[in-house]
Amino acid sequence: MIKSIFLFFIPFLLFCSPLKIIDLKENNGAVSIIFNKNIQSSYFKKHKISTGIYYDIKAEYTLKKYTFRLKNENFITIAQNNKTTTRIVIQSKKINTLNFEIKKNILLLSFNVKNSNVSKQNNSEISNLFNSITENNNNSNIIQKNKTQNIKQAARKDAEQKNTTRIVVLDPGHGGKDCGANSNKICEKTITLSIGKITKKILESRGYKVFITRDSDKYISLTDRTKFANDKNADVFVSIHANSLPKSSKNYHTTSGIETYFLSTARSERARKVAELENKDDIEVMNYFSKLSFLNSINSQRLLASNKLAIDVQYGMLVNTRKLYSKTIDGGVREGPFWVLVGALMPSILVEVGYMSNDSDLDKLQKKNYQEKLAIGIADGIDNYFLKNF
């Protein structure tokens, strides 16, 4: 049940979202750098180096340092240079063949490839152009064109080895005096605990270090849950819940499905409406302090990572549960100001594994084999998140 853990949404944050790079693509030798909003050429500060040029832009880049190795040994490398600046380094012996083109929120970089005859570039120089934030991931990020399969295999192997040092905190919602949502005398807290414990076992078998905020029926405050995750130095935090609609809702019995939420200022109109509706009863509990802690916990890099984690986990849960029930409804990835995610210092999500107000969902949620599918889905999502982003 999410009603009690929503926070009031703060509209003025919407007007100052910082510029950030949200994706990179390469197609036929043209590299697209995709921003969250429209850009202009004046944003890019150009500098010359012996092997080409680089551009600095006041924008955030949360992915790993990435090098595109293009035809004729042209190289384009993107990395966060410091907290506020992203650096795009273009190495080419024929730098005057570079096309620098802006289309709304996309920077398109390509080369006129005729008669380019260049020798091998020295990668040590490029390393020196980035500071210590990104220097430690040089080798694994030299990506060659058209070798996607090899990259995936290498990344998977790499990821398996890295799992042993990755820390996951699972948080079965509610507990003790707090039943959570209840339907037919069944408490949400019982279902979330069971799924949490199974997920822990699965993740441990895949090499993760896993902590769980509770492994029995005890009450833990929302702030203590995130504090636990911070104290454990978790890489990701997953809070597990089951949803329910108010009894007065005309969709009480019919709404079903799986949803995943991540903490944000609820920017989309749909999310804002959901948040407003869900927050209705809790506006009174908002005070200056909680507003402040909410503001402090919004960090755009973590927000982007949480969004990615949410997408992967939602997908994992759907794929796996549909093996048992092909018609499982995809409630989607949503953003919202959740109290339980406020203050977490790592990518954090909240999963709603189904609707207890829906008879069919409630029935499934009590079955061990369905709980297992959800748990495998959460674990697969976490796997994929690390595979793609690290």
Q: Tokens 């210092």, residue?
A: 345
Interface residue with Zn ion, options 241, 302, 308, 334 (CB under 5 A): 241
Binding flag, residue 195, Zn ion (CB under 5 A): no
Give the shortest CB-5-to-Zn ion separation in angstroms.
7
Query: Is the CB of 33 or the CB of 275 nearer to Zn ion?
Result: 275
CA-CA distance, 317 to 198, in Å (whole number)? 14
Binding flag, residue 353, Zn ion (CB under 5 A): no
Report which DSSP code applies to 179.
-
> Phi-psi bin for 249: left (phi > 0), alpha (psi -120 to 50), beta?
beta
Binding flag, residue 19, Zn ion (CB under 5 A): no
Give the shortest CB-268-to-Zn ion separation in angstroms.
22
Q: To 10 degrees, what angle do helices 368-389 and 148-163 make?
A: 110
Give the shortest CB-79-to-Zn ion separation in angstroms.
39
Interface residue with Zn ion, options 172, 173, 331, 337 (CB under 5 A): 173
Binding flag, residue 1, Zn ion (CB under 5 A): yes
Token duo for residue 298 = 């919004």
CA-CA distance, 72 to 66, in Å (whole number)? 18
Of 36-44, 146-154, 166-174, 307-315: span binding Zn ion (CB under 5 A): 166-174
Of 7-15, 32-40, 127-135, 238-246: span binding Zn ion (CB under 5 A): 238-246
Give the shortest CB-159-to-Zn ion separation in angstroms.
31
Q: 361: closest CA among 316, 336, 324? A: 324
Q: 329: closest CA among 240, 257, 241? A: 257
Binding flag, residue 364, Zn ion (CB under 5 A): no
Of 108-116, 168-176, 204-212, 301-309: span binding Zn ion (CB under 5 A): 168-176
Query: Is the CB of 52 or the CB of 180 nearer to Zn ion?
Result: 180
Of 63-71, 146-154, 235-243, 360-368: span binding Zn ion (CB under 5 A): 235-243
Give the type of residue at 251. N
CA-CA distance, 272 to 336, in Å (whole number)? 8
Interface residue with Zn ion, options 180, 316, 331, 377 (CB under 5 A): 180
Binding flag, residue 189, Zn ion (CB under 5 A): no
Query: Is the CB of 62 or the CB of 279 nearer to Zn ion?
Result: 279
Give the shortest CB-385-to-Zn ion separation in angstroms.
22
Give the shortest CB-311-to-Zn ion separation in angstroms.
21
Query: Is the CB of 2 or the CB of 271 nearer to Zn ion?
Result: 2
Q: 214: closest CA among 180, 182, 245? A: 180
Q: 102: closest CA among 44, 19, 26? A: 44
User: Residues 131, 136, 141, 142: what is their CA dihedral angle, to the nearest 10 degrees?
Assistant: 70
Cβ-proximal residue to Zn ion, closest one: 241
Give the shortest CB-1-to-Zn ion separation in angstroms.
4
Backbone φ, ψ for residue 146 (5° rounding): 60, 25
Q: Tokens 């018609």, residue?
A: 327
Query: Is the CB of 5 or the CB of 303 nearer to Zn ion?
Result: 5
Count of other CB atoms within 10 angstroms of residue 169: 26
Binding flag, residue 225, Zn ion (CB under 5 A): no
Q: Tokens 């407003």, residue?
A: 276
Q: What angle do CA 60, 62, 68 make, to 5 degrees?
A: 100
State the residues that interact with Zn ion by CB under 5 A: 1, 173, 180, 241
